[in-house]
């Protein structure tokens, strides 16, 4: 199966493939999953629908591939020496524009992932897991330094708090999430919940 897929895709250049995935993600942010049609992808990328179906088989497969092609954020090398420093460095890594783009991607997929395990997995690998892994490293070091008690129950919910900050501002305040907001959310919510 994997080999067949590689053979199919090898008909276009890697540059063309990257360009096409970027266009798919742009469309996804603009119109959301359901309204994203293969027709729209064909028009935007000046491809034929036949080519798209031949190369990717189906819309969910194409979108999952595009998500997987996007580079996940790396938090692995953040180590400032304090939990507050690490969390703030994490926020400082994305500019406001990238943050709004990630939030748009999440919004566009929120419903679709519920019914589509393959897409859910791809979104999780791209946006959720790197954050989970990066966060658990930061948190482990904070526990080792004695900043956070090893049995603090909020340790299990840091991602939930982050997702809340990430999506709720738009929903509740009708304003896009940005670095200044997340920095104050970290100080007001995440650090106090962890007892820091």
- State the residues that interact with a copy of itself by CB under 8 A: 31-35, 104, 106-108, 110-114, 120, 124, 128, 132, 153-154, 156-157, 159-165, 167-172, 174, 184-185, 187-190, 192-195
Shortest Å, Cβ 173 to a copy of itself: 9
Tell me which residue has tokens 């650090």.
Answer: 191
CB proximity list for 183: less than 8 A, separation 6 or greater: 88, 91
- C-beta of 55 vs 166, nearer to a copy of itself: 166
Closest by CA to 84, choosing from 148, 5, 8, is 148
- Least CB distance to a copy of itself at residue 7 (A): 32
Tokens of 94: 């994305």
Element (H, E) at 31: helix 14-31
Nearest CB to a copy of itself, comparing residues 1 and 171: 171
Tokens at 1, concatenated:
């199966």
Q: Which is nearer to a copy of itself, 53 or 157 (CB)?
A: 157
């Amino acid at each position: 199966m994997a080999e067949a897929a590689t053979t199919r895709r090898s008909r276009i250049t890697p540059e063309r493939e990257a360009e096409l995935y970027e266009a798919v993600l742009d469309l996804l942010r603009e119109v959301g999953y359901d309204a994203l049609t293969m027709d729209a992808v064909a028009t935007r990328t000046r491809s034929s629908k036949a080519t798209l179906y031949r190369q990717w088989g189906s819309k969910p497969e194409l979108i999952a591939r595009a998500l997987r092609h996007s580079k996940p954020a790396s938090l692995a090398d953040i180590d400032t020496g304090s939990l507050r420093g690490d969390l703030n460095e994490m926020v400082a890594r994305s500019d406001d524009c990238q943050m709004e783009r990630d939030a748009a991607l999440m919004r566009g997929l929120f419903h679709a992932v519920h019914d589509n395990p393959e897409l859910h997995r791809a979104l999780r690998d791209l946006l959720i897991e790197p954050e989970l892994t990066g966060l658990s490293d930061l948190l482990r070091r904070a526990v080792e330094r004695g900043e956070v008690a090893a049995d603090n129950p909020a340790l299990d919910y840091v991602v939930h708090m982050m997702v809340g900050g990430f999506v709720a501002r738009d929903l509740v305040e009708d304003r896009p999430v940005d670095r200044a907001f997340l920095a104050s959310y970290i100080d007001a919510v995440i650090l106090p919940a962890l007892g820091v």
